[in-house]
Structure 1
């Protein structure tokens, strides 16, 4: 007797993008991390520690960095935040540092 088709479960896909713009030269840099399926729980925890609902609009000023942080699951953006340089602290700093460290060489310095 043939077995019924079983739906293949795709591993969760998580992508975190960090863009820093501004500064003296006004240039943008982008880092992108897409952890392997085994590392997704660690990254999900990093993302969930960040106060997404409390993210305030970044302060503006000459030569200040602005940060855009996006988290995507599959093709859907689930979190987005725009922060000023002074707001990148605590869980935000940990997340940004992890993304920058994990970014593939091809995505660094864009």
Structure 2
């Protein structure tokens, strides 16, 4: 019987991805949470960072990094109150990349528009393509 060698403790572990975006959607009638994640390669990082930067993080329900501590406000600067939509979806979005603070947002379904929708769709598409489960027409 031979013993398998233990891993070399000096071997560097895999480097973290240059960019990582995680999206979760929860709620709906069934209350099921769906999750998607994208960790694009270094060569695509600048495109993803541009997409992330286009999102209005300071207007989202939860923000960190440069936007931390700012509650969503309306045009007059008054804090907005959102009544939860019965059986509505809520989206949680987190973006991290080297050299920047993580950004997080919690958005009701009706606010996932514009740059937010582009980011969510990009993550979902990347996730489908990387898992090999992409289906035509979806």
TM over 0.5: yes
Q: Does 1:80 align with 2:104?
A: yes
Q: What's the CA shift for 1:11?
A: 8.8
Counterparts of 2:88 and 2:41, CA distance in 1: 34
CA contact under 8 A between 1:70 and 1:77: conserved in structure 2? no
**Cα pair distance change 1:41/1:82, threshold 3 Å:** same
Q: Choose from 41, 44, 50 the match for 2:55.
A: 50
Q: Choose from 79, 85, 88 the match for 1:61.
A: 85
Counterparts of 1:13 and 1:100, CA distance in 2: 18
Query: Is the radius of gyration larger for structure 1 or structure 2?
Result: 2
TM-score (norm 1): 0.78
Q: What's the CA shift for 1:86?
A: 0.2
Once the two structures are superposed, residues 15-69 of structure 1 have per-residue CA deviations (whole angstroms, 9 ceiling, x without a partner) of: 0000000001000000000001000000000000000001147641211000000
Counterparts of 1:40 and 1:59, CA distance in 2: 36
Counterparts of 1:61 and 1:45, CA distance in 2: 31
Q: Choose from 20, 41, 49 the match for 1:36.
A: 41
Higher normalized strand content (fraction of residues)? 1
State the partner residue of 2:124: 100
Gaps of at least 5 residues in structure 1 are 1-9
Counterparts of 1:93 and 1:32, CA distance in 2: 15
Q: Choose from 22, 26, 37 the match for 1:21.
A: 26
RMSD (Å), alpha carbons: 2.3
TM-score (norm 2): 0.63
